[in-house]
Amino acid sequence: MLLGLKAPQTAPGQAGRPGPGAGADRGVSAMTSGITHDSRWVQPGDVYAALPGSRLHGARFCEQAAQAGAVAILTDPGGRDLAAGCGLPVFVVADPRSRLGEVAAWIYRDPSARLQLIGVTGTSGKTTTTYLIESALRMAGHRTGLVGGVETRVAGIAAASELTTPEATDLQALFAVMVERGVTAAAMEVSSHALALGRVAGTSYAVAVFTNLSQDHLDFHDGMDDYFAAKAALFTPRYARAAVVNIDDSRGRRLAAAARIPVTTFSASGNPAADWHAADVRGGTDGSSFRVVGPGGVEADASVTLPGPFNVANALAAIVAAVEAGAGTRTSRVQWRPCCAGCARSPWAASLSCWAAAATGTGQSAR
Ligand SMILES: Nc1ncnc2c1ncn2[C@@H]1O[C@H](COP(=O)(O)OP(=O)(O)OP(=O)(O)O)[C@@H](O)[C@H]1O
Ligand SMILES: [Mg+2]
């Protein structure tokens, strides 16, 4: 059970459901309350996506879905005849699995577009950066959400995550729940698997962040070029309106040169060619402090009590992403620190979930 929100009968493994009316004022989508690919999870008003499985076709369960209150079936040509028997309208498309995200986004009225959503992709640093962004957004006055490999959060209510990125229908439902709960901005970890498997289809990011690319996850992808292509898909108008890219990474430089959306670059190693860079980095075992230098003379002091030079990159990425998402504050200092002594002693993941960003000062700074 996720989130403890008002959604009725949330099924195990589902990301939470928005309340009735999520599809209101949108023509046909107003007749539907949601979409699910598991007939056991169907609620009255849902579209049942009857997908081909490795053993059985989901269309075998259309009758069960209809009895639970499904209002329509979405299936593939192989499920057409079985689905036709249950008396509901049947929509047949060649590859329904790849369309689920878009259909769900339509049913829930494009919820991600109603958030300032920041997606983070890369081989490493996704979870860390996502938490840092969430706390920066909170600091800037947003009611926030988070979708990550460790947990999902909606306005401070947390639940453990089963997948780095939920399935497409669950993800759209989660965004709809966020909108319903007054969330205005969210940070999300976007794995290359999720991109390649279409789980983020239908999602609209205000900003997409690229951290880095190395040899991990090649078990899933067919070589580095395939892996890079999966990541690069996020940096297209289909998904994102703006990009924040690490140009200390060679693939990041390639991405920045090729992206078809506006790109803002950053460099934790101090490369002045980047739009934003870190300067005067002072690192130790308990974290780093550094100066953030941005376009037009923007400067701020930043510190993060996470060890390692890579967390300077993660913190810089978070600051730039938050600014690009419009959360820039007139602050001259950004500090990330554990919000209590308990979490300061906790393992990394646990302490991050309690991370707090604080800004002080009103000196000339971010836009
Ligand atoms: N920017 C970075 N550059 C290089 N290594 C990093 C960076 N950020 C974190 N790491 C290393 O990667 C580990 C995992 O960090 P994190 O969980 O933030 O990455 P992730 O991208 O979410 O990984 P996963 O794909 O496993 O979910 C950290 O403990 C650290 O050792
Ligand atoms: Mg992660």
pLDDT in tens, 123-174: 999 999 999 999 888 888 899 999 988 889 999 888 777 666 678 888 999 9
pLDDT band at 196 (very low <50, low <70, confident <90, very high): confident
Q: How far is the CA of 126 from the centre of ligand 2 (A)?
A: 5
Where residue 7 falls among pLDDT bands split at 50, 70, 90? very low
Ligand 1 neighbour 149 (Cβ under 6 A): yes
| 126 ligand 1 Cβ < 6 A | yes
Query: Per-residue pLDDT tens for 82-130?
Result: 999 999 999 999 999 888 999 999 999 999 999 999 999 999 999 999 9
Is residue 165 lining ligand 1, measured as CB closer than 6 Å? Answer: no
Contact 303, 287 (CB under 8 A): yes
> Which domains does the chain carry?
29-94 (3.40.1390.10), 111-360 (3.40.1190.10)
Ligand 1 binding pocket includes 314 (Cβ within 6 Å): yes
> Which ligand is located closest to the Cα atom of residue 349?
1
Predicted TM-score (pTM) of the model is: 0.85
Percent above pLDDT 90 for the chain: 56
Selection from 21, 3, 324 nearest residue 170 by Cα: 3
- For residue 164, the model assigns a pLDDT of 62
- What whole-number percentage of the chain has pLDDT above 70? 78
